[in-house]
């Protein structure tokens, strides 16, 4: 814990203002700031003491209205349902939630038309963001309206009451295959936290190869492959927004092969007769990365610091990153090298250099005496990749004569002109 001195401690400074100038109009502001200080650090009881002291001592202060609002915020009971998602059929989902200022939370589970929801989102091209990891982000938004069904279960969970945000868990008493909308609320409260729960008997595992994607459709409960399982494949081109769909069928091993299409987003959706669903993103971007080549440059200069008018000597190595590994050095590659001012975003000089057998280039240039002081970068442009990589940096600084401090101890306390 860092202990600030009294002269730099905001709490001590606000307190001293109240002590030294009790009748000042700024005392109310100091009390309010102390309350915010404690509130921002989740010390809610101390924050409430400061806000209430402000209202009692300065009821007409301009901050009084804000203090009342902050008290309401601190004392307001609230609940937030944690990330939900997919569970195998037959298992009762364990749900996480956080709450404060309440000793019980009410839960409601409704049926949810998950197949219609997924198909309609796919047809609109709104698949991104509702994958397994981000499902709960979408589940609290309005697009869920219209897909809810009848209430399946209701229950109340007792929790220890605290003014701090505390995490708890509960088990949803549902196990039948299908989609469910879970709602959590504080008794009597208007705010509802929602989450989607999918109990499914099917799962899709995708593996990208060089020119295709293998998709393995299995039983989510035991991992056994599902043969003759129909899988809906959606294609949506980003430039025309046109949608195409086709239906594929798994072989005896539960496998289908999908060839990713360039400039098209692709999704696979499997729906079982029991109502289980699974989906997988087949997007072309994910599988192009296996052959993606990205250039990289590294350079150095003979000095890190130069004066205006000095000569800068540099050397740069250029490589290609293939599958996160550096490729071999290539000779005869033309590189566009530019010298740029980092501070004013201006190009000072440019070169076209050709790599040698070590895949490197070198050069030198003289700095203009009128160049502004500051930091400069040496960048390598790769037009064929539409990419520019920074190789290294240097600085231009004005020369300053060294200053010396000399201490002299005289031999005598007093001296006259001419003494030695």
pLDDT single digits (tens) 18-67? 889 988 889 999 999 999 999 999 899 999 999 999 999 999 999 999 99
Sheet holding 334-341, edge to edge: 305-306, 387-396, 374-382, 334-341, 346-354
Q: What per-residue confidence (pLDDT) applies to 250?
A: 93
Asked whether the predicted pLDDT for residue 222 surpasses 70, the reply is: yes
Q: What per-residue confidence (pLDDT) applies to 285?
A: 44
Q: Of the given ranges (27-31, 109-113, 187-191, 352-356), which has the lowest mean pLDDT?
A: 187-191
C-alpha to C-alpha distances, 99 to 77, 168, 169, 216, 367, nearest whole angstrom: 7, 8, 11, 40, 63
Please compute, for residue 279, the number of CA atoms within 13 A of its CA located in the half-sphere on the CB side. Answer: 25
What is the rounded CA–CA span in Å between residue 42 and residue 282? 44
Asked whether the predicted pLDDT for residue 118 surpasses 80, the reply is: no
Domains by residue range for the chain, with CATH = 10-75 (1.25.40.10), 79-200 (2.60.40.10), 202-290 (2.60.40.730), 293-396 (2.60.40.1930)
Q: What per-residue confidence (pLDDT) applies to 389?
A: 93
Question: What are the pLDDT digits (tens) for 260-296?
Answer: 765 556 777 788 888 788 877 775 444 444 456 789 9
CB 109 within 8 A of CB 95: no
Asked whether the predicted pLDDT for residue 377 surpasses 60, the reply is: yes
Asked whether the predicted pLDDT for residue 380 surpasses 60, the reply is: yes
- Residue position matching structure tokens 């814990």: 1
State the average pLDDT over residues 249-264: 81
Q: What per-residue confidence (pLDDT) applies to 37?
A: 95
State the average pLDDT over residues 198-202: 89
CA nearest 270: which of 377, 114, 105? 114
State the average pLDDT over residues 117-130: 62
Q: How confident is the model at residue 97 (pLDDT cuts 50, 70, 90)?
A: very high
Strands (DSSP E) contained in 132-229 are 148-158, 166-171, 178-185, 193-200, 202-208, 213-219
- List Cβ neighbours of 348 (8 Å cut-off, separation of 6 or more): 339, 340, 341, 368, 371, 376
Mean pLDDT of the chain: 84
Question: What are the pLDDT digits (tens) for 158-190?
Answer: 999 999 989 999 999 999 998 899 999 999 877
Asked whether the predicted pLDDT for residue 238 surpasses 60, the reply is: no
Q: With a threshold of 0.75, does the pTM exceed it?
A: no
Asked whether the predicted pLDDT for residue 139 surpasses 60, the reply is: no
Question: What are the pLDDT digits (tens) for 291-337?
Answer: 567 899 999 999 999 999 999 999 999 998 877 788 889 999 999 99
Asked whether the predicted pLDDT for residue 121 surpasses 80, the reply is: no
Q: Of the given ranges (91-100, 125-134, 172-181, 324-333), which has the lowest mean pLDDT?
A: 125-134
Q: Which two tokens stand for residue 178?
A: 């299908």
- Residue position matching structure tokens 């190595």: 317
- Residue position matching structure tokens 């205006």: 308
Strands 230-237 and 94-100: unpaired
Q: What per-residue confidence (pLDDT) applies to 7?
A: 84
Helices within 219-366 (DSSP H only): 284-288
Q: How confident is the model at residue 244 (pLDDT cuts 50, 70, 90)?
A: low
In the chain, DSSP finds a helix count (H) and a strand count (E) of 7, 24
- Residue position matching structure tokens 């939370």: 105
Q: What per-residue confidence (pLDDT) applies to 378?
A: 96
Backbone angles phi, psi at 11, to 5 degrees: -65, -40
Look at residue 118 and give its three-state secondary structure. Answer: helix
Q: Which two tokens stand for residue 267?
A: 């999704």
Q: Which two tokens stand for residue 64?
A: 């009084």
């Amino acid at each position: 814990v860092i202990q600030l001195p009294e002269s730099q401690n905001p709490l001590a400074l606000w307190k001293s203002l109240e002590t030294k100038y009790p009748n000042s109009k700024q005392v109310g502001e100091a009390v309010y700031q102390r309350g915010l200080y404690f509130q921002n650090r989740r010390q809610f009881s101390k924050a409430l003491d400061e806000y209430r002291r402000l209202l009692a001592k300065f009821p007409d202060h301009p901050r009084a209205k804000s203090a009342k609002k902050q008290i309401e915020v601190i004392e307001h009971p609230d609940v937030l349902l944690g990330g939900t998602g997919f569970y195998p059929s037959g298992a009762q989902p364990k749900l996480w939630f956080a709450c404060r200022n309440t000793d019980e939370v009410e839960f409601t589970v409704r049926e949810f038309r998950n197949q219609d929801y997924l198909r309609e989102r796919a047809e609109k091209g709104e698949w991104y963001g509702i994958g397994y990891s981000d499902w709960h982000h979408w589940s609290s938004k309005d697009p869920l309206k219209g897909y809810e069904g009848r209430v399946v279960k209701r229950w109340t969970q007792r929790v220890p009451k605290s003014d701090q945000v505390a995490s708890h868990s509960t088990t949803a008493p549902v196990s039948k295959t299908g989609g469910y909308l879970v709602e959590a609320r504080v008794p009597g409260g208007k705010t509802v936290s929602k989450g989607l729960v999918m109990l499914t008997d099917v799962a899709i595992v995708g593996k990208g190869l060089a020119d295709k994607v293998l998709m393995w459709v299995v039983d989510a409960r035991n991992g056994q492959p599902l043969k003759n399982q129909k899988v809906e494949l959606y294609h949506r081109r980003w430039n025309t927004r046109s949608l195409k769909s086709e239906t594929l069928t798994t072989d005896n091993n539960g496998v289908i092969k999908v060839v990713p299409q360039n400039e098209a987003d692709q999704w696979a959706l499997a729906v079982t007769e029991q109502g289980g669903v699974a989906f997988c993103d087949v997007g072309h971007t994910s599988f192009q990365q296996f052959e993606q080549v990205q250039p990289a440059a590294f350079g150095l200069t003979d000095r890190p610091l130069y004066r205006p008018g000095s000569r800068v000597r540099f050397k740069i190595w250029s490589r290609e990153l293939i599958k996160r590994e550096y490729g071999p050095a290539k000779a005869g590659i033309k590189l566009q090298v530019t010298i740029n001012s980092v501070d004013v975003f201006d190009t000072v000089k440019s070169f076209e250099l050709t790599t040698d057998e070590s895949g490197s280039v070198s050069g030198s240039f003289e700095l203009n005496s009128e160049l502004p002081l500051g930091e400069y970068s040496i960048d390598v442009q790769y037009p064929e990749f539409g990419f520019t990589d920074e190789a290294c940096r240097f600085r231009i600084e004005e020369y300053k004569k060294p200053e010396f401090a000399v201490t002299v101890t005289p031999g005598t306390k007093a001296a006259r002109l001419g003494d030695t």
